[in-house]
Amino acid sequence: MSEARAGTPVVEARGLVKSYRVGASTLTVLQGVSLTLQPGETAALMGASGSGKSTLLHLLGLMDKPDAGEILLAGEPVQGFGPRRAAKMRAGRLGFVFQQFQLLHEISALENVLLPRRIANGAAWWSRRAEERRAARAAMAAVGLAERERHRPPQLSGGEQQRVAIARALVGTPQLLLADEPTGNLDRRTGAEVLALMLRLARERGTALLLATHDPEVAAACDRTLHLREGRVVGA
Amino acid sequence: MSLLHLGWEWLRRRLILASAAGGIALGVGVLFTVLAVFQGFVAELESSIKKVSGDVTLEILRGTRTGQQEFARALAGMPEVASWDARLNWFGLVGRRGSRAVDDPRATDQSGLLLVGVEGEEARDLPARAPSAPTETPAPLLMSQALAAEFGLAIGDVVEVTTFRTAERRTVLARKSFALAGYAQSGRFDLDLDRAIAHRADVAALAGTAPDFSEIAVHALPSVEAEALAAQIERALLAAGIPEMDLPLLKTWRDQGGQLLRAAEDQKGMLGTVFFMIVLVAVYQLVATLLLTVAEKRREIGVLGALGAGPGRVVGFFTGLALLIATIGCAAGLLLGAALVANLHAVERFLGGGEAIFLPEIYKFEDIPVRVEWGSTLLLVGATLACALVFSLLPAWRAARVPIVRALQQR
């Protein structure tokens, strides 16, 4: 995994524009968004529903392409990346936590945590599997689920599933963790626990965190808060 | 390959994927059985041709001045030759029992009969003639039950065989009495309908021909190819000083099998092709199942993409899943085929409603002949896997085109 160069932002977005076609009309969700995130920094992205928080995370996570603007990950411009290079970047440098957890139900919690490592290693998986399995077990232990590694997601509570998702996102020690409403599907107490866990682990690993939320209490736990209004970031 | 465990879990938990493997198993199992039976038929046919003709037959030219001893000397020096038999084949005419013109060659109700004169080990089933027996004593004769029934003969019956032979540049009528001493089957139903076995000396006495042998059937050691042996025999005959004009016509068992052997091989190929359609239908079902899986598993495909699986990895995952299903189907199919082949008699009775389908009086075997060839088995498995791989490219390509963001929004 490549490390972010000293002094180089983990992610830098400049003038991102993204529109969707809705029937005959065009809806512009992002109208020139710019932001910068330094290594180890945690930031909350706040905005009303439909303000474009998820869209921005998808663009920064290279799961979608902006209509205009520029994204630099660890100083490297990525807008010209094809699907293959974008996928490699996601596997090597980015981690994701989703509101809906997005775990695969057919495999165990431990196998879900191992999944990004299997993908990142490709053909080299067989030679590294013991080492990767140890790392995945450590990640499961870090989120307090060492005893539940053999359970499949439907056998876990919502909070436990989200903790598995956090372990999965952080197992490869990414430079940037993108979390889309990670506590949105959890009760207040469980949500607070999951948030505290995610922030602690991100800070321990020096991973930058961009967290989309509309909960001010969640945002207050981060180093700074970015507001998305009328397609632009305020307070970046 | 690193995602194969996920494919395995999908296969374990989704009945529709397991049923696709079951379809392939059924097709492979049936084709394996059909091929084993037809290869058994062909092997039986080859064996019966070799039994009658040897691996290589030397057809001796009429009027040749080279004697049997010279040929024997040439063959004796060849390490590839296991044994050989000299025979005299001669055509005669024989009338049905009770025919008014049983010994009149001008009569229209006579049938042609190939008399095969044998000696030594080949004549072991023929009763030996006492040296002091008068020449008019009927000579012993063996023929198939079907031919004996055709002529209305029972064991012990005497039959007159008439023929024409050349004597002092004139064609003269010759006849000899033979007594049916028993039944003999060569294993080739077609040959057994017009040939009878007798001592070579008796056939030679009737034919009055020189030399008193018309062919030499050469049996090779097991690992020797007939075509190579034929070439070696030709060289050995020339080296032994046999004049080129006396060189016999050399025919391998494949030449002797002729159209019958080619027809059997062609039928094997055609049946293999037709039954492979069952496998193709099963593979088509696998493709339909994979397309359905791609539609149902869009969220999971999106998750794989979000975690860093590019289009190539997604294609690899789905083609790998197809190969996994096809491999399991092939393995189960081979086990099914082996079980069917091992219990073919029971299967035949089951399919025939308790009766035999392959009647011994028609097909001339008590047990259905079976032969499993590794080459055709490997070809069957390879073709099935190749079809599964090629056909799975469509669902794999569709999966690779699933947009990640929209897939993740799917509940």
- CB-based contact (8 Å) between B18 and chain A? no
Tens of pLDDT, residue by residue over B70-110, are 888 889 889 999 999 999 999 988 866 555 445 555 555 67
| β pairing state of B56-59 and B215-220 | antiparallel
| β pairing state of A68-73 and A232-234 | unpaired
Interface of B with A in 305-334 (CB under 8 A): 305-313
| Chain B residues with beta carbon closer than 8 angstroms to that of A118 | 2-3
For the cut 50, the answer to whether the pLDDT of residue A3 exceeds it is: no
| Chain B residues with beta carbon closer than 8 angstroms to that of A92 | 308
- The reported pLDDT for the residue numbered A1 is 41
Q: Average the pLDDT over B212-219 and give the result.
A: 90
- CB-based contact (8 Å) between A128 and chain B? no
CB contact under 8 A, A118 and B2: yes
Handedness of CA B137, B140, B141, B145 (dihedral sign): positive
The residues pairing with A18 across neighbouring beta strands, listed in sequence order, are A30
Interface of A with B in 13-52 (CB under 8 A): none
Work out the burial of residue A60: count CB atoms within 10 Å of its CB; fewer than 13 is exposed, 13-18 middle, 19 or more buried.
buried
Q: From CA B193, how far away is CA A233, in angstroms rounded?
A: 99
Other Cβ atoms closer than 10 A to B8: 16
**Which contacts (CB < 8 Å, 24+ apart) does range B74-79 have?**
B74/B233, B74/B236, B74/B237, B74/B239, B74/B240, B74/B242, B75/B216, B75/B218, B75/B233, B75/B236, B77/B236, B77/B240, B78/B232, B78/B233, B78/B236, B79/B221
For the cut 60, the answer to whether the pLDDT of residue B400 exceeds it is: yes
Work out the burial of residue B247: count CB atoms within 10 Å of its CB; fewer than 13 is exposed, 13-18 middle, 19 or more buried.
middle
Enter the DSSP assignment of A1. -
| Range in A5-19, A109-123, B257-271 with the lowest mean pLDDT | B257-271
Q: Is A19 helix (H, G, I), strand (E, B) or coil?
A: strand
| Chain A residues with beta carbon closer than 8 angstroms to that of B9 | 106-107
Interface of A with B in 174-233 (CB under 8 A): none
Tens of pLDDT, residue by residue over B19-44, are 999 999 999 999 999 999 888 888 88
Rounded to the nearest angstrom, the minimum Cα separation between A168 and chain B is 9
Task: With CA atoms as reference, report the closest residue to B228 among B253, B245, B264, B247.
Answer: B253
CB contact under 8 A, B307 and A83: no
**A110, A118, A171: best to mutate for the B interface, most B CBs within 10 A:** A118
Residue B384 to residues A76, B14, B336, B394: CA-CA distances in angstroms?
46, 22, 16, 17
CB contact under 8 A, A119 and B10: no
- CB-based contact (8 Å) between A154 and chain B? no
- CB-based contact (8 Å) between B375 and chain A? no
Partner-chain residue, chosen from B5, B299, B408, that has the shortest CB–CB distance to A111: B5
- Number of residues in chain A: 236
The better pLDDT of the pair B3, A209 is held by: A209
Question: Taking a C-beta distance cutoff of 8 angstroms, is the pair B293, B287 a contact?
Answer: no
Q: Average the pLDDT over A10-15 and give the result.
A: 94
CB contact under 8 A, B308 and A88: yes
The residues pairing with B398 across neighbouring beta strands, listed in sequence order, are none
- The reported pLDDT for the residue numbered B101 is 45
Give whichever of B51-65, B190-204, B308-322 has the largest mean pLDDT.
Answer: B308-322
The residues pairing with B249 across neighbouring beta strands, listed in sequence order, are B59
Q: From CA B237, how far away is CA B135, in angstroms rounded?
A: 36
Q: Average the pLDDT over B375-385 and give the result.
A: 94
Rg of chain A over Cα atoms, rounded to whole angstroms, equals: 17
Rounded to the nearest angstrom, the minimum Cα separation between A182 and chain B is 14
What pLDDT band is residue A2 in, cutting at 50, 70 and 90?
A: very low
Partner-chain residue, chosen from B2, B10, B311, that has the shortest CB–CB distance to A125: B2
| Range in A162-176, B29-43, B203-217, B231-245 with the lowest mean pLDDT | B203-217
pTM recorded for the entire structure: 0.77
Q: Is B18 helix (H, G, I), strand (E, B) or coil?
A: helix
Rounded to the nearest angstrom, the minimum Cα separation between A222 and chain B is 24
> What DSSP string describes B30-79?
HHHHHHHHHHHHHHHHHHHHHHHH-SEEEEPPTT----HHHHHHHHHT-T
Give whichever of A110-114, B154-158, B364-368 has the largest mean pLDDT.
Answer: A110-114
Domain boundaries, chain B: 4-47+259-408, 89-213
The one-letter amino acid code at B239 reads A
Rounded to the nearest angstrom, the minimum Cα separation between A31 and chain B is 20
For chain A, list the domains and their CATH numbers: 38-63+82-225 (3.40.50.300)
Residue B2 to residues A73, A120, B180, B310, B384: CA-CA distances in angstroms?
27, 10, 76, 14, 23
